[in-house]
Structure 1
Amino acid sequence: MPAASPFRHPPLQAAIVDLDGTMVDTLGDFCAALDRVADELALPRVAAAEVERMVGKGSEHLIRSVLAHVGADAGRFEAAWASYQRSYAEVNGRHARVYPGVVQGLEQLRARGLALACLTNKPTAFARELLQAKGLAAFFAQVFGGDAFARKKPDPLPLLATCQALGSAPARTLMLGDSSNDAQAARAAGCPVVLVTYGYNHGRPVREVDADGWVDSLAEAAALL
């Protein structure tokens, strides 16, 4: 499917790029870590299709969602959270792959003179490690995770704080993501937003989300600008 038509926006200064589901397919990492948690706590494992619907709102939300899905007591959160932190640190990047077109897209955005930041709901340390492991770290002037600010996407605070760190105005800062979390945060922050069509959008078609455009590859994003 071709990219959406170019949209009108002020001249861009920067771009903020989501990580999971936008640049890197990390579903395998999530599943591997959650399988370890399930085995350690004697809980049922969760199918990948179900995990895919749960990711995107931060690790704490993921763990609470998994516990609810398997019918476990919410009081087991602390044990599950500690197990997940250990498990994810061990598997981070091992079962993940960079989506086709990501490197080309980042190169094109950088060639246009845009400052780039990675903003994700994944914990910052895990995000930095993953970007480094996948050869993407050098593209980004700033990297912020879900623990970097008081609130996570879809709240606009992370986007506004990232714009401030980049020295860019929100109206001149493009958000590139894969889900309603990214779009809602961008709309509330006053940033234009383009979504990829292949990521994790909580089981919903991404073209239903209010956005300025959709692309099948990050390599198509520059053509919209």
Structure 2
Amino acid sequence: MYTYVLFDLDGTLTDSQEGIVRSVAYGLEKMGESTDGRLDRHIIVGPPLMRTFLDVYGFSEAKARQLYAYFQERYSTIGKFENRAFDGIVPMLKRLQERGIHSFVATSKPQVHAQAICEKFGIAPYVEKIAGPAVGSLDTKADVMRRILDYIGPQAAGHAVMAGDRKFDVIGARETGIPVILVGYGYGSEQERRDVPPDFFASTVSELEQLIIQ
């Protein structure tokens, strides 16, 4: 049984694609940019959006920051709540807490939004700490995970696991030296799982819980 679980947020704890996709579309349209081929959930849900705007869209830093500012106009007020906890997530977190397992959120979503989402959808009472980047930051998933692992301290070694849905969660776990469970109900693709294999795979919330406690 793992004692410490670092959960990704989007695609692992919550189904957040609607608000993110709509808010990116809002930003692109406000800039007069085409949305064609730019709103695939596999592209924009998971990694830091600034990295997507720079590396995938190919925007200059100034243009990427303008798009991010427009995205935030909608996301910070409306989009972050176009969201829901996946079925079974909150009861699972409650059972883990009752077993003495410490749950955390390690997300690429800005921490201020992650905290509001966790409070809104009943996740906050069951997580000990929420870590995410500052708004507009280029922090990697590993950077965020290290903040949680530093908080836990040396006892994390051999007792902590990452749970996420994208290759970025696997890469972050590899960089921080902890095992990773990849979930199949989120936004990752089969190609990602082949390219960056996790230690464990859970197709459902129930399977995720069983892997954590066994």
Alignment of structure 1 residues 191-210 onto 2, 5 Å = 191-201=178-188, 204-206=191-193, 209-210=196-197
Deviation at 1:100? 1.8
Give 2:152's aligned residue. 166
TM-score (norm 2): 0.85
SS at match of 1:16: strand
> CA 1:216 to 1:104, structure 2 compared with 1: closer, same or farther past 3 Å?
farther
Alignment partner of 1:43 is 2:33: yes
Q: Write out per-residue CA displacement over residues 164-197 of structure 1, whole angstroms, 9 at most, x where no aligned residue.
A: 2134413211111111111121122221211110
Q: Write out per-residue CA displacement over residues 149-172 of structure 1, whole angstroms, 9 at most, x where no aligned residue.
A: 98311x3x4323212213441321
1:203 & 1:85 partners in 2: Cα distance?
Answer: 30
Question: Quick one: which of 64, 74, 80 aligns to 1:77?
Answer: 64
Identity among equivalent pairs (%): 23
TM-score (norm 1): 0.81
SS at match of 2:80: coil
Give 1:52's aligned residue. 42
Deviation at 1:46? 4.4
Deviation at 1:120? 0.1
Contact 2:22 2:79 survives alignment (8 Å) = no
1:77 & 1:150 partners in 2: Cα distance?
Answer: 12
Alignment of structure 1 residues 1-225 onto 2, 5 Å = 12-46=2-36, 50-64=40-54, 67-68=57-58, 75-147=62-134, 151-153=139-141, 155=142, 157-167=143-153, 168-201=155-188, 204-206=191-193, 209-224=196-211, 225=214
2:134 & 2:125 partners in 1: Cα distance?
Answer: 21
Deviation at 1:139? 1.1
SS at match of 1:107: helix
Deviation at 1:24? 0.7
Contact 1:35 1:45 survives alignment (8 Å) = yes
Q: What letter corresponds to residue 19 of structure 1 in structure 2?
A: L
> CA 1:201 to 1:140, structure 2 compared with 1: closer, same or farther past 3 Å?
same
The runs of 5 or more residues in structure 1 that have no matched partner are: 1-10
Deviation at 1:55? 2.7
Q: Write out per-residue CA displacement over residues 10-50 of structure 1, whole angstroms, 9 at most, x where no aligned residue.
A: x5321110000101111101111112112211112246862
Q: Write out per-residue CA displacement over residues 85-112 of structure 1, whole angstroms, 9 at most, x where no aligned residue.
A: 2221022333212212212321232222
1:174 & 1:208 partners in 2: Cα distance?
Answer: 20
The runs of 5 or more residues in structure 2 that have no matched partner are: none
* C-alpha RMSD over aligned residues: 2.5
> CA 1:198 to 1:207, structure 2 compared with 1: closer, same or farther past 3 Å?
farther
> CA 1:49 to 1:82, structure 2 compared with 1: closer, same or farther past 3 Å?
closer
